[in-house]
Structure 1
Amino acid sequence: MTYNQRPRLAVLGLDGLPLSLARDWCRRGLTPNLARIAMTDEARSMRSELPELSPVNWTSFATGAGPEEHGVFGFTRIDPHTYEVAIADSSAVRCPTILQRLSAQGLTSKVINLPNTYPAHPLKGMLIAGFVAPELSRAVYPPFLSGPLTQAGYQLEADTARGKDDPDLLLTELRTTLHSRHTALNMLWPDLAWDLFVFVLTETDRLFHFHYPALSDPTHPLAPACENFIRKWDALIGEFLNMYEALPDPKRLIALADHGFTELITEVDLNTWLTEQGLLRLTGTHDHENDARAIASDSAAFALDPGRIYLHTRERFSRGGVTPTEVPGLLDRIRKGLMSLTFEGRPVIRTVHEREILYPGPMAGIAPELVAEPHPGFSLTAKFDSRSLFGFHGRHGVHCADDVFFYDSNGAAPRRLRDTGRLVLDFFDFPKQD
């Protein structure tokens, strides 16, 4: 096989993009380049892994496995001895990634802005990690990449902390990161010395969180400014598609989101709910909203973002007091209570998943006992700083598990994110079980 005949797979990540919204934009003429894939028979919706968060789902893509195998259940993880809550970064991934498996077979990958790959691990190829990546030097492999990226002004992430209350600043930040992705694409693609190319645009997720109504309603006051940004985003998608189309055969294109999105009805703090139920008591020692050291020893349960509920058992947590005989009754009580929770007459929770059913695998021991899946529009949080049960805290859009964008030039129809990673392995003829 000659150099130009090597099979190549290009993956375009469109973080947070719902298929229904994508097609609405295309019908309105806002995104003509996206329409090249979104309006075809090969585009369809799929479902996210639960919880419907970026690290859970992009890691499921990156491993071809679910959380019960890769061990990432949310943005954070808790130390059962110290109760310290830390970011669940790439060091938390407990099974081999697609990139590692391809490297072991001598195949080259180039990856730009894939979430939950920080700190960057060695591979055959090049990688620029995505969210959460606090600094560039540990976000790239090989390390020399940080030099040209720094010189080019590469920005890892938009400053949403400052931008959430300032639409102009947020859009300026997002234009900067979009330009950074463009710069990286032009650095890593042209030599075609790769078998797998992954290019993820996370800007839509950031914009949706703070301005989703402006992107779904063209009459919204902020719609013109937000739509102008989406046109720039679409232009970059067009460049990527043109580069893909210029590749020699054999080749394949996959485009996917990690979860859907919809307009926020209200945030719902599950630790406040557990406190009201007498199942959680917080001490006055917390330093910030994610300080789980505030969990008192007589607490029966607590939650971590977004809907992960853990029983405070003796066998798992150093200060836990729940005994095995108490577990079934607590699970039943929490499940029934959540299913009866309403906001302005509307049910909040679609279903409550049990660990044994949702996560039947080797990492079940570190999984939450229950995962609450909300009805679309409700954002489940779990803070440790005594918030109200319902409220708004600067966001107007929320993830949802359904309506997740997917496109495959070969016409595959995956059911959820882990299946998309398996498509990559299948393309490169990895055995089903190895």
Structure 2
Amino acid sequence: MLKRFVTAVFLAGLVLAPLGCGKKKSAPVIVIGLDGAEFSLLVPWMEEGHLPNLKQFMDEGAFGELTTVYPILSPVCWTSAVTGVNPGKHGIYDFQRSGKDGAPALVEQATSRRALPIWLLLDDYGYRSGVMNVPMSYPPDPLRKGKMISGFPFPQADINITYPPSLEDEIGDYPLDFLGESLFKRTPEEMLRDFYKGLEARAKVAEEWVGSGDLDFGWFVFTAPDKVQHFFWKFMDPSHPNHDPSSSSELKTAIFDLWKEQDRVLGRILTAAPPDARIIIMSDHGFEGIYRQVNMMNWLADTEFPEWLANHATPPMMVTNGVLHYHLEGLVPGSADGEALKDEFVRLAEGLRDPETGDAPFEKVFRKEDIYSGRTLEKAPDIVFYENPYYYVTSGVSPDSLDLAWIENLWSTSFSAYHRPEGIVAMRGPGIEPSTSGTLRERLQAGGDFKKANIMDITPTILALVGEMLPDQLDGRVLEEVLTEQQRLDYPVVVGEVPGFLLDRPVREPTEEERESMKAIPYLDGE
């Protein structure tokens, strides 16, 4: 499959390369991704002086909230960020996808991606790129003028995650980035040590690459904030049902302390960057504590759905991370019954109320047609749940062991916080209009410096900053409201057809050997 992928990329390059020829290169663009960055945490800490580098960056640039796509999962969100399209076009909906004909779920990889990421577009235009740790970027893309270190998920531990392959020898002790319940099989203190080790390893790479002067474009992602917030929120939050007041101060301040270190790392990268670099700091989503969980299997058992499903030939149901896969429209010839069932499912789910609090667990329940468009719609989950704050959707237990209530206090011993749709974005550098009015809190309360920025807007904005053609199949827009008049005059936005941007290749089914290796993937264990 990799050979086919390489061929597709280079064929696209033969068509695209002339578009970027003969034009003076602009100043470099650097993206720093802070997975899970959340303003409700960061603004108070910036105001109190604990995150001086992030505060200075936002004071000197433009910033605001960045809404994301659904489901709010790192592989989905980051893929929309780097392609500028919705999941219906890029084809990544989860860490895993349903197997064919009832086969076990399969882990997604970059080879499942159906749209070119920005580093491949820029590679075709002749830019020198450096890409590090972007989720859903394994296997690494073959860059003709760049280098890349893949981000999770990985099929196994003993793999080469770099392009060129020789780069792995240069980066030294660089731990793979894993995520999941299995991480909590170690002590919290051991987890924290690993988070800091990974943060420092990635900091060294980013600092060296950004400071080398060899990059026209870079995209670097730090996932330590996401992990520490997932696992350590309950120690920080006295209202959390799993909060233990007797926990050590190290655990209670784990999130705060890691953010201080992340800020120091940010300062190192900003210092290393060329003075004319345009820098974007962003997150893929926000965060909030989760207090209550909805066990979907248990709820389904109390509805009329089991009887309906027992009388129809149905594929196995897969519920994960707030998405439901049933592909109901294919169950009955003509699909009328399947569509009616989906409508009824949405109606009942939206009408649910927590008997303990009276609150609705779901702010919205989407059918896939409500939020996706594109050629991969058939692969999309049938239903996507958008939880209200403090609620979390899980599969619960299998129908053979229905011993849980459909809703209850969070019982996970590891995750204590989860994703919210409002992330962050900040931009600074030549061509970007800095805001001059108000404190950070005042600017944010006024809506920030952007007009409803979405994660799909990052790639179009980068292409506009460097003056390259925007594919007409992008779903995002250029964030022109923060670009200077001179930037818009020097690099007017041009939209046109970019052949090969949306890839048309079959998804390769894994071999039996690969299926076996996937069973040991740590960040899928228990999720």
Same fold by TM (over 0.5)? Answer: yes
Q: Distance in 1 between matches of 2:42 and 2:305?
A: 42
Q: Please, which of 25, 29, 54 is the counterpart of residue 34 of structure 1?
A: 54
Matched, 1:333 2:351: no
1:167 correspondence with 2:182:
no
* Corresponding residue SS for 2:52: coil
Counterpart of 1:144, as a letter, is: S
- CA 1:356–1:62 in 2, change beyond 3 Å: closer, same or farther? same
Provide the C-alpha distance between the structure 1 equivalents of 2:371 and 2:148, rounded to a whole number of angstroms. Answer: 31
Equivalence for 1:422: 460
1:19 deviates by: 1.7
Corresponding position of 1:204? 225
Deviations 1:25-58 (A, max 9, x none): 2123322222123456612112110011100110
For residue 128 of structure 2, what is the amino acid of its counterpart?
T
Aligned partners of 1:52, 1:313: CA distance in 2, in Å? 22
User: In the alignment, is the contact (CA less than 8 A) between 2:94 and 2:108 conserved in 1?
Assistant: yes
Structure 2: distance between partners of 1:46 and 1:360: 21
Matches within 5 A, 1:293-372: 298-299=313-314, 302-313=317-328, 315=330, 320=331, 324-343=335-354, 344=356, 345-372=358-385
CA RMSD of aligned residues (A): 2.9
How has the CA–CA distance of structure 1 residues 186 and 38 changed in structure 2, closer, same or farther, with 3 Å as cutoff?
Answer: closer
Q: Percent identity?
A: 24
Distance 1:314 1:328 in 2: 6
1:193 matched to 2:214? The reply is yes
- Aligned equivalents of 2:69 and 2:344: distance in 1? 25
Note the 1:130-169 alignment, pairs <5 A.
Answer: 130-133=151-154, 134-135=156-157, 137-149=159-171, 152-157=172-177, 161-163=182-184, 166-169=187-190
**Residues paired across the two proteins, number:** 410
Q: Which moved more, 1:57-66 or 1:267-276?
A: 267-276
Counterpart mapping for 1:42-121 below 5 A: 42-121=62-141
Question: Would the alpha carbon gap of residues 137 and 30 (structure 1) be closer, same or farther in structure 2, given more than 3 Å must change?
Answer: same
1:304 aligned partner, one-letter code: V
1:125, distance to aligned residue in structure 2 (A): 0.4
> 2: distance between equivalents of 1:238 and 1:31?
10
Residue identity opposite 2:252 in structure 1: A
Give me the whole-angstrom Cα distance separating, in 2, the residues matched to 1:136 and 1:406.
35
The 5-angstrom pairing of residues 175-254 of structure 1 reads 175-215=196-236, 221=249, 222-244=251-273, 247-249=274-276, 251-254=277-280
Read off the aligned partner of 1:235 and give its amino acid letter: R
Instruction: Report deviation, 1:383.
Output: 5.7
Instruction: Report the Cα distance in structure 2 between the residues aligned to 1:298 and 1:5, rounded to whole angstroms.
Output: 58
Tell me the SS of whatever aligns to 1:189.
Answer: helix
Q: Give the SS at the match of 1:103.
A: helix
Please give the TM-score of this superposition, normalised by the length of structure 2.
0.71
- 1:270 to 2:291 alignment: no
Contact 1:37–1:43 (CA under 8 A) maintained in structure 2: no
Render the CA deviation track for 1:411-432: whole Å, top value 9, x for unaligned.
Answer: 5736211111221222222323
* Shift of residue 208, structure 1, vs aligned partner: 0.5
Tell me the distance in 2 between the aligned counterparts of 1:322 and 1:230.
54
Q: How big is each residue's C-alpha offset from its partner over 1:296-335, in whole Å with a ceiling of 9 and x where there is no partner?
A: 96458834322222344473xxxx4575120232122111
- Provide the rounded CA distance (Å) in 2 between the counterparts of 1:312 and 1:116: 24
- Is 1:392–2:411 an aligned residue pair? yes
Per-residue deviation, residues 137-158 of structure 1 (Å, max 9, x unmatched): 4311110011123xx2110225
1:279/1:300 contact within 8 Å kept? no
Q: Deviations over 1:180-222 (max 9, x none)?
A: 1122224433321111111111001000011124456799843
Q: Closer, same or farther in 2 for the Cα pair 1:420/1:314, shift >3 Å?
A: closer
Q: Distance in 2 between the 1:322 and 1:278 partners?
A: 21
